[in-house]
């Protein structure tokens, strides 16, 4: 005990307690802290980089294929022109820029369905695995704030993934004559982000149920298949039932957005899915964490 | 500051803890001692509001941990069994994050992080990724995150696990330094830890409180009872009867004959604390014509108390300190 302890505090421990802020400020600060930490973790681990790389590779390939491929939109337009020159009756005219935007964002949506489970799988499963859920659950932060911060972070990351592809697409659309308006273009991407946010919210809930990221990814993917199935059934079913199911289908409303149709019902549906995901996540942390350990 | 009353927790059909009652006064260090699997972590988690109890109540700083969870969360610092760390953050970044979610105002955050790092000897590691820290340093970061917001109540679940002896000593000094202005409850299965740091000890075994007292009183409780071990040659039945007839003797046990020559027997005698008993025993045996080869008085330590309280021997003693269902074979 002769050695001086490196631990020996040089200052007495301050015993002042923090002044209290308004609950709203504290809530916002907590959400921001969770958001920053979550976003920070994407840059510190290799997986998100790989996911982004694959997304950009396939997204770029789809861009080229949709625009310039043998079945691409330009080839189709050229064939329609040729048909007219050969004296055939003219096919109904179509807006190349519009069709390109609709087809491409639709493809991005399908691609996202495969990528989103990988983004959401670790949101809570990793916290469970690292034991940090115990820190979050015993800190004066509501489960809502944690879930919202996390969702905002992962949606931000998704937007960061979509942005470069958006730029490429904007370049292609900029070359269109006559020039196209940006309304449909922006609306379709808004639809894309809203659909992604809905699925990420549900994926976050799935992630909060398990300690295994792989299991979370598989279960989220199964959930997406189910949603897709609902869409397929809705299209096949005649009458009121089919229509009702169709109103609940994420994919149908996403397609509406890509077609430039802004429907408040669609917006409400997406927001409902997001709130549902947040609610289920908060509830699952409140109740299900008790059954683990 | 901490009041636990009739707390029980069952997982499915197995009871982790049953009817636990104990408490800690403000500024006190309470040691929560028990063998592995005794229910220490479960109790800690209930106190921290991470697990709900099946029955009973727990109050921290006057707030019920279940119904006033948020109020309790604001007033506790909690180090779980495995330190909750984000491996991809630096020590400083992590502590700043914890300070934020614990509600430390932004202008105080840096200062608090510095003080916590100073107390835990982390100042030279502030820029290091937690992933690259050794287990001992991770444990220190775990302690730092529990004290960063200067909570009135600190709950430490096995704070010295994974540390080397020097670090253990440092952590003990740190904990002692926090006492007075903070109420601390720490769990451990290491005995010297509680006898050195704690003001009071609650010993639990198989989910039940076996004893609550100061370290000195607990030791005294056993040393009030003297134990002698002796080796004799001759008729062991006569010896046992003789010894049992002596006034202060409570119990005579025949120990195993391992490593003994033929006709030699080893006996253990427990009695009221009487330092002159040795002479009485030897006289009695020798007058009866038995050969006394060895006579040794045993000192009670806290370790004996612990072993006594957490193994089955106690169940056969005149004053059982454990409830009946603890009388199963001791866990090895």
ipTM field? 0.83
List for chain B the helix, strand, coil content (%; round to 5): 40, 30, 35
**B270 DSSP β-pair partners:** B227, B251
Closest chain B residue by Cα to residue A18: B104
The torsion angles phi and psi of B57, rounded to 5 degrees, stand at -125, 150
Q: How is residue A21 written in tokens?
A: 């802020």
A14 neighbourhood in chain B, CB within 8 Å? 112, 115, 150
Per DSSP, the residues of B197-212 read H-SEEEEEETTEEEEE
Please give the residue that has the higher pLDDT: either B154 or A74.
Answer: B154
pLDDT at B318: 41
Q: Of A13, A18, A33, which has the smallest distance from its Cβ to B97's Cβ?
A: A33
Closest chain B residue by Cα to residue A41: B88
CA-to-CA dists, residue A25 to A30, A32, B294, B302, angstroms: 9, 10, 75, 51
How close is the nearest chain A Cα to the Cα of B277, in Å?
A: 39
Which range among A119-133, A148-162, B100-114 has the greatest average pLDDT?
A148-162
H or E element, residue B266? strand B264-272
CA-to-CA dists, residue B136 to A133, B132, B161, angstroms: 21, 12, 8
Least confident of A162-176, B67-81, B189-203: B189-203
Mention the CATH class of domain B2-215: alpha beta
**B212 DSSP β-pair partners:** B202
pLDDT at A3: 40
Predicted confidence (pLDDT) per residue in B247-274, tens digit: 777 778 787 777 778 888 888 887 776 5
For residue B214, give the 3-state DSSP assignment. Answer: coil
Of B273, B264, B321, the C-alpha closest to B254 is B264
Edge to edge, what strands does the sheet with B183-188 contain? B76-79, B153-157, B183-188, B29-33, B200-205, B208-213
Q: Is B101 on the interface with A (CB under 8 A)?
A: yes
Statement: residue B327 has pLDDT above 50 = no
Domain ranges in chain B?
2-215, 225-299
Q: Is B103 on the interface with A (CB under 8 A)?
A: yes
Alpha helices, DSSP H, located in B102-253: 106-119, 135-147, 165-178, 191-197, 215-223, 236-245
Q: Of B74, B112, B177, which has the smallest distance from its Cβ to A9's Cβ?
A: B177
Of B28, B282, B15, B55, the C-alpha closest to B180 is B28
pLDDT > 70 in chain A, percent: 90
Alpha helices, DSSP H, located in A175-249: 183-207, 213-236, 239-248
Task: Give the pairing of strands B153-157 and B208-213.
Answer: unpaired
Alpha helices, DSSP H, located in B120-164: 135-147
Please provide the average confidence, as pLDDT, over all residues in chain A: 85
Statement: residue A205 has pLDDT above 50 = yes
pLDDT at A148: 95
Predicted confidence (pLDDT) per residue in B56-105, tens digit: 889 998 898 888 888 899 899 999 988 999 999 999 999 999 999 998 88
Q: Is B150 on the interface with A (CB under 8 A)?
A: yes
Q: Write the DSSP symbol of residue B55.
A: E
Statement: residue B286 has pLDDT above 60 = yes
Q: Buried (b) or exposed (e) across A87-101, using 16+ Cβ within 10 A?
A: eeeeeeeeebbbebb
What is the distance between the alpha carbons of residues B240 and A291, in angstroms, rounded to a whole number?
A: 54
Predicted confidence (pLDDT) per residue in A254-287, tens digit: 988 988 888 888 899 999 999 999 999 999 888 7
Please give the residue that has the higher pLDDT: either B241 or B78.
Answer: B78
Domain ranges in chain A?
23-290
What is the distance between the alpha carbons of residues B296 and B230, in angstroms, rounded to a whole number?
A: 6
Of A156, A163, A61, A70, the C-alpha closest to A104 is A61
Residue A19 · residue B106 · CB < 8 Å: no
Mention the CATH class of domain B225-299: alpha beta
Q: Write the DSSP symbol of residue B324.
A: G
């Amino acid at each position: 005990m002769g050695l001086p302890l490196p631990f020996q505090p040089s200052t007495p421990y301050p015993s002042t307690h923090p002044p209290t802020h308004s609950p709203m400020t504290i809530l916002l600060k907590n959400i921001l802290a969770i958001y920053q930490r979550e976003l920070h973790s994407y840059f510190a681990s290799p997986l998100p980089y790989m996911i982004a790389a694959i997304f950009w590779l396939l997204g770029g390939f789809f861009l080229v294929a949709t625009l310039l491929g043998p079945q691409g939109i330009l080839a189709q337009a050229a064939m329609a022109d040729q048909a007219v020159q050969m004296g055939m009756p003219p096919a109904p005219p179509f807006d190349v820029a519009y069709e390109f935007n609709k087809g491409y964002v639709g493809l991005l949506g399908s691609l996202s369905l495969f990528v989103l489970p990988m983004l959401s799988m670790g949101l809570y499963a990793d916290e469970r695995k690292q034991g940090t859920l115990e820190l979050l659950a015993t800190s004066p932060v509501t489960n809502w704030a944690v879930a919202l911060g996390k969702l905002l972070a992962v949606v931000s990351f998704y937007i960061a993934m979509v942005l470069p592809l958006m730029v490429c697409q904007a370049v292609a659309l900029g070359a269109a004559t006559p020039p196209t308006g940006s309304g449909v273009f922006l609306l379709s991407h808004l639809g894309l982000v809203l659909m992604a946010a809905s699925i990420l919210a549900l994926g976050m809930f799935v992630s909060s149920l398990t300690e295994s990221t792989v299991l979370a990814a598989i279960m989220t993917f199964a959930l997406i298949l189910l949603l897709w199935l609902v869409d397929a059934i809705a299209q096949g079913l005649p009458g009121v039932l089919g229509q009702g199911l169709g109103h609940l289908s994420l994919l149908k409303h996403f397609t509406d957005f890509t077609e430039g149709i802004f429907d408040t019902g669609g917006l409400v549906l997406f927001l409902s899915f997001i709130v549902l995901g947040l609610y289920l996540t908060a509830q699952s942390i409140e109740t299900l964490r008790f059954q683990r350990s | 500051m901490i009041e636990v009353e009739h707390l029980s927790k069952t997982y499915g059909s197995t009871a982790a803890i049953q009817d636990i009652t104990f408490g800690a006064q403000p500024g006190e260090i309470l040691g929560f001692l028990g063998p592995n699997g005794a229910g220490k972590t479960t109790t800690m988690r209930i106190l921290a509001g991470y697990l709900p109890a099946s029955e009973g109540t727990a109050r921290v700083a006057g707030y019920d941990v279940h119904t006033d969870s948020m109020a309790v969360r604001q007033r506790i610092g909690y180090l779980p069994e495995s330190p909750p760390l984000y491996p991809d953050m630096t020590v400083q970044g992590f502590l700043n994050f914890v300070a934020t979610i614990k509600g430390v105002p932004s202008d105080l955050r840096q200062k608090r992080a510095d003080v916590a790092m100073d107390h835990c000897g982390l100042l030279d590691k502030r820029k290091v990724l937690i992933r690259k820290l050794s287990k001992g340093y991770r444990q220190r970061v775990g302690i730092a995150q529990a004290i960063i917001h200067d909570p009135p109540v600190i709950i430490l679940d096995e704070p010295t696990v994974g540390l080397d002896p020097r670090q253990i000593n440092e952590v003990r000094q740190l904990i002692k330094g926090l006492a007075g202005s903070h109420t601390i409850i720490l769990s451990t299965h290491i005995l010297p830890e509680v006898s050195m740091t704690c003001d009071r000890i609650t010993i639990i075994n198989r989910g039940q409180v076996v004893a609550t007292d100061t370290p000195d009183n607990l030791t005294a409780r056993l040393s009030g009872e003297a134990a002698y071990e002796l080796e004799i040659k001759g008729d062991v039945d006569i010896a046992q009867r003789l010894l049992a007839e002596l006034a202060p003797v409570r119990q005579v046990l025949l120990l195993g004959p391992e490593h003994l020559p033929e006709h030699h027997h080893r006996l253990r005698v427990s009695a009221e604390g009487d330092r002159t008993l040795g002479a009485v025993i030897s006289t009695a045996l020798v007058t009866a014509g038995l050969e006394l080869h060895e006579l040794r008085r045993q000192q009670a330590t806290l370790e004996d108390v612990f072993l006594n309280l957490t193994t089955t021997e106690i169940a056969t003693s005149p004053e059982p300190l454990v409830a009946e269902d603890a009388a199963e074979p001791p866990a090895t």
